[in-house]
Amino acid sequence: MTEAEAAVCRRTSAAKKSRLCFSSSIAVLRNFSGIALLVTASTSTILITTARPTRRGLEAKNALSSSSVTVTPPQPEWTQWFEVPVDHFDDAADRPSFKIKVLGLSKFAAKTGPIFFYSGNEGSIGGFWNNTGLPFSWAAEFQADIVFAEHRYYGSSLPFGDKSFDSPEHMQYLRVEQAIADYARFMEQYNTENKKVVVMGGSYGGILASLMRQKYPTLFHAAIAASAPIPQAFNLKTESDNQMTFYESVTHSAKQVSQTCPGFVRQAFQELETAFQAAARRTSRSAGVEATSTSSRPTESETATTTTLDEIRKKFQLCQNSLKPSEWSHFMQYARNAWTEMAMCDYPYATDFLAKLPAWPIKKACELVDAGGKSGDPVQGLADAVALPYQSEPGTCLDMYKLFVECADQTGCGTDNDAKAWDYQMCADMNIVVASDGEKDMFPKRDWTLKHLENYCVKKYNVLPRPTDMAVRLGAYHFDTQGAGSISNIIYSNGLLDPWHPGGYLQNLTDSVVALIIPNGAHHLDLRLPDEINDPADVVGVRLQEKKLVKMWLGSSTAEKQDISDGSINIAKEPERPLVGGISTDGHRRRGDERQHQVLDEKEKIQDEDIDNKSIFFV
């Protein structure tokens, strides 16, 4: 297809475009393989201290440019279904196939421009389109085509339709290798003009973006892998092995906004656990079961102070008519999961991504916890905080079994079919083991070891987790502290507010496989649409570096290359605003110099005077 024909395709209506431009799977679809963001300027550590940006007016314009962006990503210009084999590695002549959903925006695309491809992850692709604005903010400047592809078994891309989750036999094709093969096959047929492709992805999508660059380097020229916990998912040794755990990171975020918050949360959970234990003993006695030890009998003090399960049910606004002692495990995980969602989505503005949340939800949750704790009712404070991500309307009851589903992933699988798919992947692919210990974190102790995971997966799917298999199957074992072999052009970005960051790459692997740290960033904040009013300065700087790296890898000027290679970053510093109790005077939480030193002390691996370390560290 000529450029003139492509231009016609971009101008035609959706119906006509479907006939003209998508008559075959190799037509003019421009690919934008999920960008995996990884930023590093050089092999030296760069510490940059900047103030939070002042409020600026946001110009909402129809056209996207480097200087102005719309408040939300534009709607897709086209939707298409691309046919892929159920099993890419089946050579049978009659192998079955199905279609994956693909969304695109091609109005900025030029013949010399790249393709930005988003590697869809564990959910409907529409949700990721609406929450991944970075490629749209770059589109006009790069003259890029944008494509988002949906992951098999998620959203509407179901190999066996409504029966896709009926049996392990149907689910066995839900593997990472199959998913990235879907994207590679699509790009091979879509990119008829041999454009350079930058694949972007966040979280699991970031893992996919990195693997796509590694396994299909001729199809995907560069990758941005944001918040991608590859070492943790593939059980690889990294420099971050001795850093904090997932739930310790959640606790640390709470402590950053309130020194008293974690203590009140611990106190509340202890009171809750005591109440469930006391109720269990009462149930045993009423059933005629004698206690076998003194520790199993309630003391006079315990009897006098224990909150009843009915009081707990009312405080947490649960829909259930009653709470049973046997429901402690699910109830605890339900409450803990609320903090997981708030920590991952601890963004500087209100969002509706994993849940409908206010700006800086951890700060808001801790305000509620502190209010309850200081009034003598920490359980009520915790209950109010837990309701934040779950309650769509004030006063509505909360069904803890619909809002939280227990699964192989202790950080939560979501609900509905997407939860079924992710549950299976945690057994077959990821094998991520996360637990709370009640000591370093503010949550009750809940063991979850590889043995627990094995028992769960074998019983449910007859699948035995093999923690090192993924690295061998996909060659990810090359990504270790010794370097990345021949792999290049990958950005790994991590926000220190994101509880997944300890499981990611926090230092460069090579000069072109780089790590970018965002102290004020939550889960793949850098991939979200830039917000000129609320974005912390560090994520603004990270996006600038990501853009410079992508330009260099796509073929930029010598000046731009030098700007990156020497580690220089030009960010206009703004005046420091006085802090009031950790909050800036404009009402925003700010983690500035004080957070820099806390983070450096906590990690003990990133030293501001050590220029040999391997990440760019924005503060």
Q: Which residues are catalytic?
A: 203, 498, 523
The encoded tokens of residue 124 equal: 């409907």
Write the burial class of residue 317 (CB in 10 Å: 0-12 exposed, 13-18 middle, 19+ buried).
middle
- Pairing type for strands 97-105 and 78-85 reads antiparallel
Helices (H), 96-203: 125-130, 134-142, 168-171, 176-190
CA 203 to chain centre: 4
Distance from C-alpha of 95 to C-alpha of 85, rounded to nearest angstrom: 7
Residue 332: strand, helix, or coil: helix
Q: Say how far residue 7 (Cα) sits from the centre of its chain.
A: 36
Spatial separation of the C-alpha atoms in residues 66 and 76, rounded to whole Å = 20
**C-alpha–C-alpha distance, residues 479 and 594, integer Å:** 33
| CA 504, chain centre distance (Å) | 11
Instruction: Determine the distance from the C-alpha atom of residue 322 to the mean position of all C-alpha atoms in its chain, rounded to a whole number.
Output: 35
Are 426 and 462 contacting, i.e. CB atoms less than 8 angstroms apart? no
Residue 588: strand, helix, or coil: coil
Distance CA 443, CA 437 (A): 7
Q: Which DSSP state fits 525?
A: G
Of 198, 136, 113, 126, give the one whose Cα is nearest residue 530.
136
Q: How far apart are CA 156 and CA 95, in angstroms?
A: 21
AA letter at 68: S
The span from the CA of 569 to the CA of 188, in Å, is: 36
CB contact set of 264 (below 8 Å; sequence gap of 6+): 369, 370, 372, 373, 378, 381, 382
Q: Are strands 583-584 and 579-580 parallel, antiparallel or unpaired?
A: antiparallel
Tokens (6 digits) for 324: 């049973």
Q: Which residue in 185, 205, 192 sits closest to 95, CA to CA?
A: 185
Q: Let me know: does 230 contact 149? Beta carbons within 8 Å.
A: no
Q: How far is CA 583 from CA 21, 360, 574, in A?
A: 52, 11, 17
